[in-house]
Amino acid sequence: MTDTDAGNASQAHRDVTRTRLATPLTQYGIVLLTVVLVVSPLLPILYQSFIAQPLYRDDLDFTLSNYARLFVSRAFYDILWVTFLFSAGIAVVSTAMGALMAVLTVRTDMPGRGWIGTIFTIPIYTSSLVLAFAWITVYGPGGYLTATWANVLGLPAWDLYGLWGMILIGSTAYAAIPYFYCTSALTMADPSHEQAAQICGAGRMRTLWRITLPLLRPALSYSLLINFVAGIETLSIPLILGEPRGVRTFSTFLYTEIGKTEPQYGLVACASMLVLVFMALLIMLQRRVLGDARRFVTVQGKAQAPKRLRLGPLRWPLATLCWIWVTVLVVLPLAGLLARSAVQVLTPYISPLTVLTWDNYVQIFEVDTYARSIWNSLLIAGVGGFFAACLSLGIVLVAERSDNPLRRPLRFLSLFPQAVPGVIVGVGLLWAFVLVPGLDIFRSTVIGLMIAFTMRYIPLAVGAIAPSLGAIGPELDRAARTSGATWIGTVRRILVPLVAPGFLGAYILLFLSFLREYTSAVFLYVPGTEVIGTTLLSLWVQGKSGPVAALAVIQIVLVTAVVLISRRLLGVKMYG
Amino acid sequence: MRRTLLITCLSSLSPVAFGAAWAQDNAIPDYYPEDYDQIVAAAAEEDDLVVYGNIAREAWQPVIDHCSARFPEMPEIQTLDLGATEVFERYYTETAGGADSADFMLSIDPGGWLRFIQQDGVLPYQSPELEHLPDWSYYEPGLYMYSADPTTIAYSKVQFSEGENPTGVADLAAKVEADPAAYQGNLSTYSLPEYLTVWWPFINSHTPEGGSWEESEAWPWIETLGPSTQPLSSSGPMVEGIMTGQYAAAYLTSSGNPRRAVATAAGEQLLGYNFIDDGTPIWLRGIAIPQESGSPNAAKLLLDCILSSGGQIAVAEGDYTAYRPDVAGEAKWHLQSVLDEVGEENALFVSYDDVYLDQETLDAFVARWNEAMGR
Amino acid sequence: MAELVVSNLVKSFQNGARAVDDVSLDLPSGKWLTLLGPSGCGKSTTLNCIAGLETPESGTIRLGDRTLFDTARGGIPPEARDVGMVFQSYALWPHLTVARNIAFPLELRGIPARERKGRIADVANIVELGSMLERYPHELSGGQQQRVALARALVYEPKILLLDEPLSNLDAKLRERARAWLSALQRRLAVTTVYVTHDQTEALTMSDEIAVMSEGRIAQRGTPREIYGAPATPFVADFIGTSNFLNGTVLSRDRGSGTVRVADAEFRFVLPDGVGVGDDVLIAARPASLRVAARDDSSTIHGRILQRTYMGFRYEYLAEIAGAEVRIDGAEEIPDGVDTISVSLTPEECSLFRRDGHESKRAAR
């Protein structure tokens, strides 16, 4: 091996020269794509916030008066206050519910805890839109149980609409997030702490309260922040449950203002800018609190078989309470939704069996606009989700595994969309597509929605891929580089094959999210690009509860199928 | 509902056969201009026809099936169901940037239309069907009407036994006054400012001769009804609410949703409706071709189709109300039967009046209404 | 094979401190240079700079007639440097078989499949892995993995072989065998080799030359014999073999040698240049050169016993002598109750340094 093979060496150099440009082109391409994706919805909004007229006019005056008007508007402060109450309510109630349920199912010997925990987390797989419909079907003013309670039994009824109902449904919808965080924190925590406390003579409840709960503190504070942000973002719950009582949050303010005659675009843009700044601050705080961007990723660690706390005589009473809890919050609403989808009307006055019908489903599949929304959703989730997963993989590779000078800004940028509520993404992209010549092609096809959804969920996918890439030792790519592979060659032949399971997990996560996403679509969709969520909303506005229920059931079936298939066949676990 | 679907099925089974028959015999009646076949030929070359409107796809379906059968050359028709004002706002936003927008528009909002006409948004077009239509159904330079839809009072058959049902707003107010405990928040109606087109004509029809709307005799009724009323921006939820037991009645609501509801077995048992004996506002649902229409010829075919006899019959199949006089006997729902029932004097046509541009008056009206409603 | 020349290499940490501070090296073709030092001394950073995995701020790196890096033109990427590298963790790609791991660099170089096969077989024989080619890395033992990594780095006949602590993950017995094997292989292939380790035994037994690094700089450069026998600084003396440090003062100087007082005794030492009468000096003594004295005389140092440890066949005493703590071996037991110790010193086996603040700190350890 002492004689050098000059031919091979020069061959290597030729390859290197040929591909020398490919690496920076790819890396900067990914950076540029991310910048465009993240910034394009925001720029039009920033621009509009300084313009007196709607931004599509020709005669534009730059002004600060939008901000001035916003700051003196009482209505705006009312909206902020309601948004705060709603978000804080969701954060506190959902975290309390999630933590309590996690302690009971992970740390105690409560009978049926496995099933209870599973049912408790179902709402995270349905969308909050569907959950809101389900609740109204059963507990709304005309809901089956409400009507039975009030009209048939003649007892005083409750009012699901308004702030309290919103907080209750929102908390049910988002309680799975604190539940997952607390579950993993509890599973990883050393059970000897609790045993030690019991040896010291602490009672069971005291042990739970004094020892177990404090272990959860990081998971709790993280959950509080995440669900606070979720509360600001969510559109469906305040729209469906708040609007009828005039309870208006920031999301519904944007939604209704833009749907109005002569909308005040300037005010909408200003309010959006302020909320963006506020959200960005919140998310920075979130990072401060927990150090990094694990917004969607559960804490990892070694799972131990925890020693369960013996509840003793409390076992059955607690189990019964928990069953009632998940039945009332989750099982009955979803059962009601399923029932509603199969009848002409769900009312205590006539037996549902006499008005059984397939019409609701027939209507969904026969009216091409409705049927198309299902195919569009599947197309966007399947194709758009795949491209989004690819882009996210590219971002993670450049940010974590390259020497590109922009890798740090890229990491920040890729997490920024967490701070952008879906409604703002929709409005901003609509304006961008409409204002910039040539971009209309995006709006008139599902590509526009794919772009919007991708922008929304890049942090989710990045958060899912980054840990699996992090688990691959950096020496593996260094070895490939010194062996003669370019950065791209290393990525293609070493990193991508190794990170494939993480990529698949991210893809499935994106598929499910895209299938349920609608907030960024409400302003963006045009005839031909309807998705399930927008069709659900427009059917709801028309009061077509039957088709709404049918389409919601179809969505739940699709999501469940994807979750089950990916669990059984691919071994990919969502969330927890 | 079932009937609509049935028709949809039938016509979609054999559109080609239908279309061929139409094309040979009836597609272009002899009173159409001679060069009409050029419009048809040009339409065939055009892109999908995008319709912005505020009616649901199922209601469009019979009309679309009819037109596609009559003109096989017609490109694919896409409909988007938006709010009455959103139809215009969306068009303004999109066309300002040169983006594709609506090729054909439908809205129930007179103010929106009047502003649209002022801004030269409407493509001038003289339909060959115009001579067969009533005068009130056309505005220069190209605004026509899709349907003339009466409002109704819909009520729960569980709450009101036969013969006891409310017949008008005054009658309902009297019932509430007689037994306030039975009406705790279980009434509904259209909300303001979205439905000025219902409230403005109704309140004004009870204004004493020479008086202003503030002196209308209807206000006390509204004040009686207000505390029990949950105003909504869509009649679908009102009808659904009546059937599920949430509402006892919805006054000044639409006719389309109650019509569709009573066609089902459940609706027949649970819901009834009738026109309003002290004033039935009748909406005129405007249709026009926008200036920026990307498929203007196809849009003209659709417009003429809607206005034709066959088109009006199809409009009624979608549970909107035909108004073309020569189909009074054939259409499933026709304006004539409404007029016969409520009497000409109680038919309040929602005119395309300049008042809908007078923001000051409207704001004052809305404020008065909110006060009466106790909101 | 080629000659490696590194000049004035500088590389900083993110916080601005110098990881590599003005390092210059030259290594003749076919020789083995070991970069030796404690963790954080800059040895791995230097190696990574040569490999192209890190980019220095300034300096030049030349390999044969090619410039791999210079300040003005920057560096060529690692894949174009034609270096072979073995990592501490071996960095075998888990999704590829041994054969595919070794084939990877050949595929990148466009070597036809037939030739690839032959070369893989050759290199597998050299590293004694012929029967393992179709296995996956996780099916191999640590020693086998290390040899696969070596085969992968050698198969394309790189101009230079870079080894980053390749033996540190092996257990002690295996490491000893691997040392001999690796050293023999390098001599046979005569591949220019840079070897990074913190293990002095590896450095002393395998290298042609050693560069001892400390805080980003080269503390001493020389053959193993020079480094061990004549450490240039107290740091080197300390790092290569355990040394005791004694404080002394120069009493007189006469040409190359002079008298140095250590505690209450005086010795004749060879004095380095620049050490004059009255200077404080530091004497580095290998453990073997400090002994418990058989009997007291004028060349016996006296100290105070701080701690005594019975080691089975000998005793180890921790004593304080002239302000420094030293460890002294002795065959005989000093009876309990006696708390002074007499120590003899062999000046020829010691190194002597002029003392400044920095070194006194180390000596007081």
Per-residue pLDDT of chain C (365 residues; tens, 9 = 90+): 678 999 999 999 878 888 899 999 999 999 999 999 998 889 999 999 999 988 899 999 999 889 999 998 888 888 889 999 999 888 899 889 999 999 999 998 888 999 999 999 988 888 888 888 899 999 998 889 999 999 999 898 899 999 999 888 888 888 888 888 888 888 888 899 999 999 888 999 999 999 999 989 999 999 998 888 888 888 888 888 777 888 888 888 888 888 888 888 888 888 887 788 888 888 888 777 788 877 777 778 888 888 888 877 788 888 888 778 888 877 777 777 778 888 888 888 888 888 765 443 333 33
Q: What average pLDDT does this structure show over A213-225? A: 81
Give the side-chain half-sphere CA count within 13 A for C300.
13
**Closest residue by Cα to residue B48 from B91, B78, B19:** B78
d(CA A81, CA C61): 64
> Dmax of chain A from CA atoms?
100
Query: Closest partner residue to B257 among A56, A345, A543, by Cβ?
Result: A543
- Averaged pLDDT of chain B: 85
Measured CA to CA in angstroms, residue C41 lies from C5, C46, C217 at distances of 20, 10, 8
**Closest residue by Cα to residue A124 from A296, A284, A243, A283:** A296
pLDDT band at residue A563 using 50, 70 and 90 as cut-offs: confident
**B236/A543 touch (CB, cutoff 8 Å), yes or no:** yes
A229 close to A399: Cβ distance less than 8 angstroms: no
Asked if the model's pLDDT at residue A135 lies above 80, the reply is yes
**Dihedral (C-alpha) A412, A413, A419, A424: value to the nearest 10 degrees?**
180
Neighbours of A391 (CB within 10 A): 19
Residue C181, chain A, CB below 8 Å: the answer is no
Contacts of A349 in chain B (CB under 8 A): 158, 245, 269-270
Instruction: Tell me the backbone φ, ψ of residue A482, rounded to 5 degrees.
Output: -70, -25
> Dmax of chain B from CA atoms?
67
pLDDT at A89: 96
Asked if the model's pLDDT at residue A136 lies above 80, the reply is yes
Measured CA to CA in angstroms, residue B124 lies from A438, B95, B342 at distances of 29, 18, 35
pLDDT at B244: 86
Measured CA to CA in angstroms, residue A189 lies from A110, A304, A563, C256 at distances of 19, 8, 28, 68
Contacts of C189 in chain A (CB under 8 A): 1-2
The least confident of A208-212, A500-504, B197-201, B301-305 is: A208-212
pLDDT band at residue A299 using 50, 70 and 90 as cut-offs: very low
How large a percentage of chain B has pLDDT more than 70? 93
**C82/A9 touch (CB, cutoff 8 Å), yes or no:** yes
**B266/A345 touch (CB, cutoff 8 Å), yes or no:** yes
d(CA A446, CA B195): 33
Residue C83, chain A, CB below 8 Å: the answer is yes
Domain B152-274+343-372 has CATH 3.40.640.10: no
Contacts of B158 in chain A (CB under 8 A): 349
Query: Closest partner residue to C85 among A482, A486, A487, by Cβ?
Result: A482
Tell me which amino acid residue A360 is: N
d(CA B132, CA B308): 8
To the nearest 10 degrees (0 to 180), the angle between helices A176-188 and A217-233 is 160
Residues of chain A with CATH 1.10.3720.10: 43-356, 358-576
- Between A53 and A539, residue with greater pLDDT: A539
**B5/A260 touch (CB, cutoff 8 Å), yes or no:** no
Residues of chain B with CATH 3.40.190.10: 15-149+283-342, 152-274+343-372
pLDDT band at residue B21 using 50, 70 and 90 as cut-offs: very low
Neighbours of A554 (CB within 10 A): 18
Digit-coded pLDDT (tens) for B326-370: 898 888 899 998 888 888 888 888 888 888 888 889 899 999 999
Nearest CA in chain B to A535: B81
Instruction: Count the helix, strand and coil residues of chain A and give each as a percent rounded to the nearest 5.
Output: 75, 0, 25
Token pair of B153 as six digits: 């009072």
Residue C326, chain A, CB below 8 Å: the answer is no
**C104/A486 touch (CB, cutoff 8 Å), yes or no:** no
C46 close to C6: Cβ distance less than 8 angstroms: yes
Pick from C3, C29, C54, C79 the residue to mutate for testing the A interface (most A CBs within 10 Å).
Answer: C79
Instruction: Tell me the backbone φ, ψ of residue C183, rounded to 5 degrees.
Output: -60, -45
Q: What is the 3-state secondary structure (H, E, C) of chain C?
A: CCCEEEEEEEEECCCCCEEEEEEEEEECCCCEEEEECCCCCCHHHHHHHHHCCCCCCEEEEEECCEEEEECCCEECCHHHCCEEEECCCCCCCCCCCHHHHHHHHHHHCCCCHHHHHHHHHHHHHHCCCHHHCCCCHHHCCHHHHHHHHHHHHHCCCCCEEEEECCCCCCCHHHHHHHHHHHHHHHHHHCCCEEEEECCHHHHHHHCCEEEEEECCEEEEEECHHHHHHCCCCHHHHHHCCCCEEEEEEEEEEECCEEEEEECCEEEEEECCCCCCCCCEEEEEECHHHEEECCCCCCCEEEEEEEEEEECCCCEEEEEEECCEEEEEEECCCCCCCCCEEEEEECHHHEEEEECCHHHHHHHCC
Digit-coded pLDDT (tens) for A396-430: 999 988 888 898 889 888 888 888 888 889 989 98
Q: How many residues does chain A have?
A: 576
Q: What average pLDDT does this structure show over A125-134? A: 89
Q: Under CATH, domain B15-149+283-342 is a member of which superfamily?
A: Periplasmic binding protein-like II (3.40.190.10)
pLDDT at B180: 85
Contacts of C84 in chain A (CB under 8 A): 482-483
ipTM over 0.90: no
pLDDT at C1: 61
**Closest residue by Cα to residue C200 from C156, C235, C173:** C235
**A528/B9 touch (CB, cutoff 8 Å), yes or no:** no
Token pair of C228 as six digits: 């061990």
Nearest CA in chain A to C115: A8
pLDDT at B17: 39
d(CA C162, CA B150): 89
Digit-coded pLDDT (tens) for B31-54: 888 888 888 889 889 988 999 998
A369 close to A527: Cβ distance less than 8 angstroms: yes
Measured in angstroms, the CA of A144 and the nearest CA of chain B are apart by 7
Neighbours of A278 (CB within 10 A): 16
Contacts of B8 in chain A (CB under 8 A): 366-367
Query: Closest partner residue to A542 among B94, B236, B246, by Cβ?
Result: B236
Query: Closest partner residue to A5 among C83, C154, C157, by Cβ?
Result: C157
pLDDT at B18: 41
pLDDT band at residue A300 using 50, 70 and 90 as cut-offs: very low
pLDDT at A74: 85
Query: Closest partner residue to A498 among C88, C95, C111, by Cβ?
Result: C95
d(CA C234, CA A149): 91
Asked if the model's pLDDT at residue B27 lies above 90, the reply is no
**Closest residue by Cα to residue C160 from C41, C28, C54:** C28
**Closest residue by Cα to residue B185 from B252, B233, B270, B247:** B247
**C55/A403 touch (CB, cutoff 8 Å), yes or no:** yes
Nearest CA in chain C to A478: C53
Instruction: Tell me the backbone φ, ψ of residue B272, rounded to 5 degrees.
Output: -130, 160
| Helix (H) or strand (E) segment spanning residue B78 | strand B77-81
Digit-coded pLDDT (tens) for B183-241: 888 899 998 888 888 999 999 889 888 888 888 889 999 999 988 898 888 888 899 88
**Closest residue by Cα to residue B303 from B51, B121, B99:** B51
Query: Closest partner residue to A344 among B57, B234, B266, by Cβ?
Result: B266
Decide: helix, strand or coil at residue A187: helix
d(CA B142, CA B290): 9
- Averaged pLDDT of chain C: 86
User: Do chains B and A touch by CB distance (3+ pairs < 8 Å)?
Assistant: yes
Token pair of C256 as six digits: 């190359």
**Closest residue by Cα to residue B229 from B190, B202, B271:** B190
pLDDT band at residue A295 using 50, 70 and 90 as cut-offs: very low
What order of strands is seen across the sheet that includes strand C209-214?
A: C83-86, C160-164, C193-197, C32-36, C209-214, C217-222
The least confident of A147-156, A512-521, B336-345, C62-71 is: A147-156
Asked if the model's pLDDT at residue A147 lies above 90, the reply is no
Nearest CA in chain C to A488: C79
Contacting partners of chain A (3+ CB pairs under 8 A): B, C
Assign a CATH topology to domain A358-576.
Answer: MetI-like fold (1.10.3720)
Q: How many residues does chain C have?
A: 365
How large a percentage of chain A has pLDDT more than 90? 33
Residue A393, chain C, CB below 8 Å: the answer is no
d(CA C200, CA B305): 96
Pick from C87, C108, C155 the residue to mutate for testing the A interface (most A CBs within 10 Å).
Answer: C108
User: For domain A43-356, which CATH number applies: 3.40.50.11440, 3.40.190.10, 1.10.3720.10, 3.30.870.10?
Assistant: 1.10.3720.10
Contacts of A263 in chain B (CB under 8 A): 89
At CB < 8 A and 24+ separation, what contacts does A377-383 make?
A377/A514, A377/A515, A377/A531, A377/A532, A377/A533, A377/A555, A378/A515, A378/A558, A379/A446, A380/A446, A380/A449, A380/A450, A380/A453, A380/A514, A380/A531, A381/A510, A381/A511, A381/A512, A381/A514, A381/A515, A382/A511, A383/A450
Asked if the model's pLDDT at residue A292 lies above 80, the reply is no
Q: What is the DSSP letter of A223?
A: H
Measured in angstroms, the CA of A98 and the nearest CA of chain B are apart by 33
- DSSP bridge partners of C285: C244, C350
Contacts of A243 (CB under 8 A, 6+ apart): A252, A256
**A482/C55 touch (CB, cutoff 8 Å), yes or no:** no
**DSSP string of B239-304, one letter each residue:** HHHHHHTS-SEEEEE-SHHHHHHHTSHHHHHHEEEE--TT-EEEEEEEEE-BTT-S-HHHHHHHHH
**A1/C77 touch (CB, cutoff 8 Å), yes or no:** no
**Closest residue by Cα to residue A530 from B82, B314, B236:** B82
Nearest CA in chain C to A3: C1
Token pair of C199 as six digits: 């293990």
Digit-coded pLDDT (tens) for B128-155: 998 899 988 898 889 999 999 999 999 9
Decide: helix, strand or coil at residue B212: coil
**Closest residue by Cα to residue A522 from A401, A421, A379:** A421
pLDDT at B354: 84
Contacts of C91 in chain A (CB under 8 A): 473, 475-476, 478-479
Token pair of A340 as six digits: 């509603």
pLDDT at A403: 85
| Residue pairs spanning A and C at CB distance below 8 A | 102
Measured in angstroms, the CA of A34 and the nearest CA of chain B are apart by 24
Digit-coded pLDDT (tens) for B239-292: 988 988 888 999 999 888 899 888 888 888 889 999 998 889 998 999 999 998
Pairing of strands C257-262, C265-270: antiparallel
